[in-house]
């Protein structure tokens, strides 16, 4: 039976100890190519994981990937990317809004009338709505994080 090893953790632990892949293979009593495959994220046999756990002096479960925690991390990462994209879109929109307000104010002053007043009002409403969407998204995500809810 093959298991998903936590390749990043195994590599990080090996490098923290300043071990080469050859040294780890010798300590664990497994082949160098096996260590290389495991560090590349390929599946590992139970015996290989047990040998690596013995070499690192840890429980074998510390070297395996927990599917539930991986799924939880993926959901959190996806929500973080969505939030970052939404915040970036708001800042871009706000910068355009500020430039437009300066321009429209200049037009109003230049013409001596309030020709651009309605455009300024509705653009302000739109920008405020965009900001409200960002705030609500952040509040919902914080609430979900506090409650431990997954999507």
**8 Å CB contact between 53 and 59:** yes
* 114 CB neighbour count, 10 Å cutoff: 12
How many CA atoms lie within 13 Å of 95's alpha carbon, on the beta-carbon side?
Answer: 6
End-to-end CA distance of the chain: 31
| Closest to 79 measured CA to CA, from 136, 137, 131 | 137
Task: Please indicate, yes or no, whether residues 57 and 71 belong to a single structural domain of this protein.
Answer: no
Verify that 14 and 30 share a domain, yes or no: yes
User: In DSSP terms, which residues pair with 45 in a beta bridge?
Assistant: 2
Structure tokens at 64: 């395996």
Angle between helices 46-56 and 32-39 (to 10 degrees): 90
Among 40, 63, 86, the domain-final residue is 63
Number of domains the chain is built from: 2
Buried b (16+ CB within 10 A) or exposed e, 14-44: beeeebebeebbebbebeeebbebbbeeeeb
> Are 51 and 80 members of one domain?
no
Question: Domain check: are 87 and 131 in the same one?
Answer: yes
Q: What does the pLDDT read at residue 150?
A: 53
Q: Which domain holds residue 14?
A: 2-63
Q: pTM score, two decimals?
A: 0.56
75 in the same domain as 51: no
102 shares a domain with 53 = no
* Residue 1, pLDDT score: 63
Asked if residue 54 and residue 39 are part of one domain, the reply reads: yes
Q: What is the mean pLDDT of each run of 10 residues along the chain (151 residues)?
A: 82 93 94 93 89 91 76 84 95 97 95 93 97 94 76 49
| Beta strand 2-3 pairing with 44-45 | antiparallel
pLDDT score for 71? 77
In the listed set 41, 63, 85, which residue is the last one of a domain according to the structure? 63
Residues 6+ apart with CB under 8 A from 71: 150
55 with 98, same domain: the answer is: no
Q: How much is the pLDDT for 120? A: 96
Residues 86 and 143 occupy one common structural domain: yes
CA–centroid distance for 16 within its chain? 24
Q: Of 10, 39, 63, at which residue does a domain stop?
A: 63
Residue 44, H or E segment: strand 44-45
């Amino acid at each position: 039976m093959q298991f998903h090893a936590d390749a990043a953790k195994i590599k990080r632990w090996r490098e923290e100890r300043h071990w080469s892949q050859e040294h780890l293979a010798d300590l664990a009593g497994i082949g160098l190519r096996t260590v290389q495959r495991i560090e590349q994220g390929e599946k590992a046999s139970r015996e290989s994981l047990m040998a690596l756990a013995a070499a690192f002096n840890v429980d074998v479960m510390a070297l395996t990937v927990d599917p539930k925690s991986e799924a939880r991390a993926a959901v959190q990462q996806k929500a973080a990317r969505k939030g970052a994209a939404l915040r970036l879109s708001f800042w871009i929109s706000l910068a355009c809004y500020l430039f437009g307000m300066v321009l429209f104010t200049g037009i109003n002053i230049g013409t001596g009338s309030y020709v651009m007043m309605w455009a300024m009002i509705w653009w302000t409403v739109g920008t405020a709505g965009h900001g409200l969407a960002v705030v609500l998204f952040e509040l919902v995500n914080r609430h979900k994080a506090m409650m431990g809810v997954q999507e």
